[in-house]
Amino acid sequence: MRLRRPLPVPLLVVLAAAALLATTAAAPAPPDDDRVVDLQAHRGGSVLSVESSLQSFGTALDLGVHTLELDVQITADGHAVVTHDRRTSDEVCTDTAPVAPGDPQFPYVGKYVKDLTLDRIRTMDCGSVRRPAYPAQTLSPGARMLELHEVFALARDRGADDVRFNVETKVEAAAPAETAPREQFVQVVADEVRRAGVVERTSVQSFDLAALDRMREVAPELDRVLLMNESFLELGQPGRSPWLNGLDADDLGADPATALVAAARTVDASAVSPVHGTPQSAGTTAPGYTPFTTAATVRAAHDAGLAVIPWTVNDVPTMDALLDLGVDGIITDAPDRARWVFERRGLPLPSPRPAG
């Protein structure tokens, strides 16, 4: 399943969807809506299990998802590890012991991943702490931070040959000294994907347009996806956003949808992945909520042949509203909830891939 849309969505469909989104509670699409919508488990499904762990990705495969979504940082010795945070966080990991007695870098929690070698990273227990936002997470005591190739191997061992991977390169464009160099990020990820033989099933996403531009040069065969939110786009603000590869959003378009799509097209992206709205932890029914993924976003992207896959969508009303707009995928911390929504709407469900 490639991400790029072969044909634009008809304008009438998008306009009708816009009217639906304007309602407080969007009505489900007719039960004969059998288009394939990409269900992506964010960090494996953070609502259910400690994030970015073999348990979380395994649980997602147990349930059945189309895509495992994950973040990558690069260690001091050049390994791709699966973690969202550029600085190791006590919300996810705890120290156990130094890699060697008297190691001056110990404790490791609180250090930048780019400054720690893999052997130091792997001493930390990243399965015994629940994120405060997800108190029902199932723990995985003693779990070590994964390497990217271990996620690929998990899917292979499950026989999940149709499951895709959406790998985010966590280049920090606004503070580049806090992550590995962009060029190293791109090369290491491209090498890992090729080595695992999953090029056709992998997309690389980033907020950093320059990283996607570099990926286009290094591995043009990989799908590229531009992540975005309002604050990184900096539309209507003076100067250029550090996330847009030297471009000024105001030169790209007069509105967020146009600017986002124009930026994505500069790197031949196959999809855009905008935040669903703000606050991103809320949803359509919350007071003061403002959608960022709108009918205009879907129309502009589809007219350009790009898929639209908003993040991170965890509540049912927002899932329904976005599906009514005709989005092509949903990134969620709650894949079980998304499956329930998909089933209720008559959308095709991905097959479970249980162990054994």
Domains in the chain and their CATH numbers?
Answer: 11-86+146-345 (3.20.20.190)
Q: How many CA atoms lie within 13 A of 286 on its CB side?
A: 15
pLDDT digits (tens, 9 = 90+) for 242-297: 999 999 999 999 999 999 999 999 999 999 999 999 999 999 999 999 999 999 99
d(CA 120, CA 124): 7
d(CA 340, CA 233): 33
Closest listed residue to residue 172, CA positions, set 224, 242, 93 = 242
Report the residue count for the chain: 356
pLDDT digits (tens, 9 = 90+) for 172-204: 999 999 999 999 999 999 999 999 999 999 999
pLDDT band at 1 (very low <50, low <70, confident <90, very high): low
d(CA 115, CA 76): 5
Query: Higher pLDDT residue, 16 or 134?
Result: 134
pTM, whole model, 2 decimals? 0.92
